[in-house]
Amino acid sequence: MDKLNVLVCDDDTAIVDALEIYLKHENYGVVKAYTGNQALKVLTEQKIHLVLLDIMMPGLDGLSITIKIREELNIPIIILSAKSEDTDKIAGLNFGADDYVTKPFNPLELMARVKSQMRRYTALGSLVSNSNILKTGSLELDPEAKELQVDGEAVKLTPTEYGIMLFLMKNLGHVFSSEQIYEHVWHEPSFSAENTVPVHIRRIREKIEINPKEPKYLKVVWGIGYKIEKY
C-alpha cells in the first residue's frame, strides 16, 4: 500500500511542525496547511487519507472547513480544539468530524487516535469476509461495497458512522452501550464514549430515518444503549 497522507491544518506553525515530526515517525506522509482555504486547495490536488484540523483559525474556521470537506469526501477528520467545553466538541462532531482532541494534547494519545481512524478508514472492506448484504426493513448495508442504502438510495456515511452501522447491523436487535460501541468501533478504551457516541448516533439518524425524533431503525433503549431494530 502507498504511504497514507495526513493533512495538518493549523495557523500555529509550531504545532504543525511538531505534528509533522510525530506523524513522519509513524511513517505517514504529511501535507501542511495554515489556513482553511489552503487546506481545501490541498484536498483538490492531493490524495489525503485523514485531516487534523484546528477549530480556531482566522477566515474559514475548522467547523466551516469540516462542512465543506463533508460535501465531497468521507475521509476521517480529527478536530484539534483549544476549547474543552462539551458544546464545542459536540459541535465539531455534529458538523461531520470523526473525533476531537483538546489542546494541549498528549502527542502519543493523538497518534493513537490517528492510527485508530486510519485503521477503520483503510480496512473497512476487510472487516467482513463475505459479501452478504445485511438487511433490515428498507436498510441494506453491503460490506463489500462499503455502502448503505435506504429505500434503494445510497447514504453517504463517514468512516466512523459506517463502523457503527456495520457493528449494529451485524447484531440486529441486540442492545449495546455507548462504551461497547466506542470500544468496538474506535478500538480503544471508552474515554469519551458518553460525549462522542450519541452525537454520531444522532447524525446517522438524520441520514437514515424519515423522522429522526421517532426513529424506526436506530433506537435508544433508555439507560442501556442503542440497537438497530430487526424487521
Question: What distance in Å separates the CA atoms of residue 87 and residue 69, rounded to the nearest whole number?
Answer: 21
Question: What distance in Å separates the CA atoms of residue 229 and residue 139, rounded to the nearest whole number?
Answer: 10
CB 159, CB 120: distance < 8 Å: yes
Displacement of CA 91 from its chain's centroid (Å): 13
Whole-prediction pTM value? 0.66
What would the grid cell of residue 100 be?
A: 476531537
CB 225, CB 219: distance < 8 Å: no
Beta pairing class for 29-33 and 5-9 = parallel
Domain boundaries along the sequence of the chain: 5-123, 127-228
Q: DSSP strand E in 103-145: where?
A: 134-136, 139-142
CB atoms near residue 73 (< 10 Å): 15
Q: Are 5-123 and 127-228 the same fold in CATH?
A: no
Residue 193 vs residues 59, 177, 190, 198, 201: alpha-carbon distances, Å: 32, 9, 5, 8, 12
Please state which CATH class domain 5-123 belongs to: alpha beta
Q: Which residues contact 64 (CB under 8 A, 6 or more apart)?
A: 36
Q: For every one of its 231 residues, what pLDDT tens digit does the chain have, with 9 covering 90 and above? A: 578 999 999 999 999 999 999 999 999 999 999 999 999 999 999 999 999 999 888 888 888 999 999 888 888 999 998 776 667 677 778 888 988 888 888 888 899 889 988 887 776 543 344 457 899 988 999 887 888 999 888 898 998 999 999 999 999 999 999 999 999 898 887 776 777 899 999 999 999 998 999 999 999 998 899 999 988
* 97 DSSP assignment: -
| CATH topology (fold) of 127-228 | Arc Repressor Mutant, subunit A (1.10.10)
